[in-house]
Amino acid sequence: MAFSPDAAHAIAIASLGPLEHVSPLRVVTRALFAPRDPRLAVRAMGLEFPSPIGLAGGFDKNARRPRALAALGFGFLELGTVTALAQEANPKPNLFRLRADRALVNRLGFPNDGAARVAARFAKIRSRIGVPVGFSIGRSRAVTEPERVIVDYTESFDAVRAVSDFVVVNVSSPNTKDLRALQSAEIASALFEALVARNDSPRVPLLVKIAPDLSDAEVDALCSVVEARGLDGVVATNTTISRGDLATPRETVEAIGAGGLSGPPLRARALEVVRRVHVALPQKTIIGVGGVETGSDARALLDAGATLVQIYTSFVYRGPLAAASIARELLATGFGR
């Protein structure tokens, strides 16, 4: 029996329950799969990453399974995206598999229990994760007034800052109306300025997640704002609204409709954006994400200037040991020698 993609995701989260809640099982799993080779270790943003292979935002939106995910071999986790206001997912169907492309299309739209509630729950287990954990913050769907948007983000930031090793500002999801407009240099500058002003004692590394669909000029302009406002880095990239060069039949893709495409079709553009961001911001942390299925894919992003990489779609297609496997494959490329 084939499950729908959203049902399969719910089953995957549920299946991680025993690993999340049974400590001896986590100990054994971590011993088998957690990265221990010192060649994989990365230091960035004042943090120690046992592996450069992390989990991208969007998989564990409500921070329900961080201990299980860390035990499976991820070097770091990005949880969320969370919003100041709790909200449901966009109407179903909202998640699709393009099996011929090993890709996903989602239009979930930041479903979560609300930043304050998620952060309070996560605070109880934070000390038992074992790898750096960041939260992604986004705009609440109900907040549409321009003068409220920055307040909405700062409320989420205030909620998660104390329990985060880093925070990612998501202004690039295609699934919240008008969210991507926040990537314009003028608006982004005001948003980043407000967040940086609240980022004190203790200060937490702050990054922005950008879309692959920005033009090169728009990437350069946003990088200038990142530099000017003193952010710590860039996550490159989010999902794409492009539907070019797919093996999946056009009529199938058109029937799916809107949403963010992730997986191998994004790989080439993600690599281009990482290179461009690295040229603009050579001293900043860059987290490369988009189409990483193998150690060679991860190595390509790292060689292009990424400090760390993330996976999501390959975790769905390759299964629970994807991070551990990709880390081993990365070492086989000669990484860390």
pLDDT in tens, 166-201: 999 999 999 999 999 999 999 999 999 999 999 998
Catalytic residue set: 173
**What digits encode the pLDDT tens for the residues 221-260?**
999 999 999 999 999 999 999 999 999 999 999 999 999 9
- Concatenating the DSSP letter of every residue in 117-169 gives HHHHHHHTTGGG--S-EEEEE---TT---HHHHHHHHHHHHHHHGGG-SEEEE
* Token reading at 29: 């799993």
pTM, two decimals, is 0.97
Supply the pLDDT for residue 319: 96
Long-range CB contact pairs, 28-36, < 8 A, 24+: 29/71, 29/72, 30/70, 30/71, 30/130, 33/71, 33/72, 33/73, 33/321, 33/324, 34/70, 34/71, 34/73, 34/130, 34/324, 35/73, 35/75, 35/324, 35/327
Supply the pLDDT for residue 235: 98
CB atoms near residue 140 (< 10 Å): 23
Supply the pLDDT for residue 3: 63
- Domains in the chain, start-ordered, CATH in brackets? 5-332 (3.20.20.70)
- CA gap 246, 253 in Å, rounded: 9
- CA gap 154, 84 in Å, rounded: 8
Supply the pLDDT for residue 265: 98
- CA gap 322, 312 in Å, rounded: 10
Supply the pLDDT for residue 2: 59
CB atoms near residue 118 (< 10 Å): 26
Supply the pLDDT for residue 139: 98
- CA gap 70, 200 in Å, rounded: 28
Taking the chain (337 residues) in consecutive chunks of 10 residues, what is each chunk's mean pLDDT?
73 94 98 96 98 98 98 98 98 96 97 98 97 98 94 98 98 94 94 97 95 97 98 98 96 97 98 98 98 98 98 97 98 94
Q: Which of 3, 1, 5 is nearest to 262 (CA)?
A: 5
